[in-house]
Structure 1
């Protein structure tokens, strides 16, 4: 499952990078995913056996750790470029290649020093009394702490300069990175304790594992928090406008029958068809609002005339307009004379479009429930 996710993410980022090859942020995140994806098969049983048989014992473990350290390097470079100016980012990124290179050389030498029978060790059962094994885990763990600390530094700097959902997501990332640094430090202490032959306290091991179990999903949540918030707001707006579009149907239908020439586009084929069409909701929403307002302007003299004849000269409230709108449309269709000047009907209190939409929606709702005038 993880391998499939990495492959999909890699395909997406490579496509984006092809369109913007000079984007430093995109370069860093793409290279991070490349390294993580390349390391994944080396951690599987088949990949490890095949690589070790082809090159030598311990090769798969060495390559996997080198790729993971590179992934951490590019992760820290991503946060660096997101928080620093371009010149500072390029300069620091070049400088950070040195500790990565030194670490790769050290863990490679440590693997060569390790006896063949001990090279496929796992951390839980590794013999830390062997110099090669101890140096391998200590060097890799030290760089892990360094890369995560650098990511933490630049992520915190970016978070302080950000606002809204982006800042919230970045602070979640900061907390997660801090927990990862603490877990890395705990593991380094355990390495030294095991090298010295001491007993490792079970609560300490459990605590370090718990930190990682909390930090990793928190880190992922922080990365996706801002995009998810934007998508949620977009989805809420989409559903709100779709609902408003259908709530305007009674008013729009009545006006469209009387003034078909005012249509800005062809009439929708039906409510279910409109609901199933996921694209164009915003366009259809604005079109319906404009057509409703244009139709009301044209029929408003007839509404005012009928309302005045019944003693509603003080104003055209929504209920009054809804009750007299069918008769006004009938009078217009019959060619009855009416004052040529338009009068205000269901006008908003301000200049905001949403105020206008609320008035039109309220009029449509009132029209739906109004009892026709007899």
Structure 2
């Protein structure tokens, strides 16, 4: 089981990350090339793949050439990605030509050698060309990665870059070990450490995993962040949707727990639709409820955003009740502004949704304040008013 996980795990992870990333330009495209190179390289070195390729093509070493080709692509794409992360429009043009020339020389020596055993003719030259094709790009990855990690303000990005740099260093060490192993028969010396399990298995596996984890970490944490935001906005959004189904661009088809794709866009749409729903409830918002709950929340020790969210949740609960009974208070209140930008507004609505959900779980009555009883409602004689799609509060 351990061997199977070591052989298949990194390849499966690389393909999973590659297939879940959408297309893009600039740095994002380079990162997709990194994952493509890693996925092809890791798949080609699985023993099962080697056997299949050998049986189909009749060449026992063709899978290793694919493995090495993927690594050359990964090294070149990695330095292109790091260049863009550091503000350059692209990596040095000569490095692309260097990698292409190194790969061409590799193919020449691969065609000339009968096999890739260390003692075979032209294997040393093949390994030297393989190392030379990657070394400038790998050096650039380490230098620019450390530079950007020192300047990055985001902790996740710093951790990601350092993991990539550490994996690249391990990869350079493995590359040096393979080169020495190929040179030793020709030069007549024995380098015992190159044949140990640590050098042959642990070193490359660690390098692959560190690069994969570092490259995938921002994407994975970003997905998890938006997944949690989407679910946390759910209680408030569903209550508003039941009151005003027109706010939803697409009716919900599956539970939130099963929504796994396009989460950034879905969170954005959910925030806009919640704002549409709150705007539709504006005629039913009772300022007396807001004032009473605000005083009660202040007396209980709530301050800042926690108090504002609790007040808004109670106001929305009362407004939903008034909407359901087709009546409005004598006075109506304005929808609060919320956050200063999209991220801040999303955080505010998440807090409101949490307070709204907790109030429902606590079996709070539909009319959370006696303020409604002190302000007689009048029946609704017409539609609540018109609003535009994607409307935001200006009150």
> TM-score, length-normalised on structure 1?
0.61
Determine whether 1:265 maps to 2:246: yes
1:93 maps onto 2:93 in alignment: yes
Contact 1:36–1:67, Cα closer than 8 Å, also in 2: no
Q: CA RMSD in A?
A: 5.5
Shift, 1:214, TM fit: 1.5
Q: Quick one: distance in 1 between partners of 2:107 and 2:167?
A: 27
Query: Is structure 2 residue 178 aligned with structure 1 residue 184?
Result: no
- Give 1:293 shift: 5.3
Q: Which of structures 1 and 2 has the larger relative contact order (alpha carbons within 8 angstroms, sep 6+)?
A: 2
**Deviation string, structure 1 residues 133-176 (Cα, Å, up to 9, x no partner):** 23223332343444422332333333334332233212211111
- The corresponding residue for 2:36 is 33
Give the one of 365, 369, 374 matched to 2:364.
369
Structure 2 spans left out of the alignment, 5+ residues: 1-7, 260-265, 298-309, 374-395
In structure 2, the residue matched to 1:44 is 50
- Whether the 8 Å CA contact 1:107–1:139 is kept in 2: the answer is no
| Unpaired runs of at least 5, structure 1 | 257-262
The answer (yes or no) to whether the contact 2:78–2:137 under 8 Å persists in 1 is yes
Displacement, 1:239? 1.1
Write the mapping of 1:303-342 to structure 2, written as runs, cut at 5 A.
Answer: 340-341=330-331
Q: How does 1:345-364 map to 2 (within 5 A)?
A: 354=348, 357=352, 361=356
2:159 corresponds to 1:152 = no
Matched residues in 2 for 1:196 and 1:178: separation?
A: 26
Give TM-score, length-normalised by structure 2.
Answer: 0.58
> 1:79 corresponds to which residue?
81
**Shift in CA distance, 26/243, structure 1 to aligned 2, threshold 3 Å:** same
Say how many residue pairs are matched: 324
State the partner residue of 1:211. 203
Alignment partner, residue 140 of structure 1: 130
The 8 Å contact of residues 163 and 214 in structure 2, kept in 1 or not, is answered as yes
In structure 1, C-alpha distance between the alignment counterparts of 2:193 and 2:258, rounded to whole Å: 58
Bigger CA radius of gyration: 1
What is the DSSP-based 3-state SS (H/G/I as helix, E as strand, rest coil) of the residue aligned with 1:163? Answer: coil
1:231 aligns with 2:227: no
- Separation in structure 2 between the aligned mates of residue 228 and residue 75 of structure 1, nearest angstrom: 20
Q: Is the 8 A contact 2:14 2:38 kept in 1?
A: no
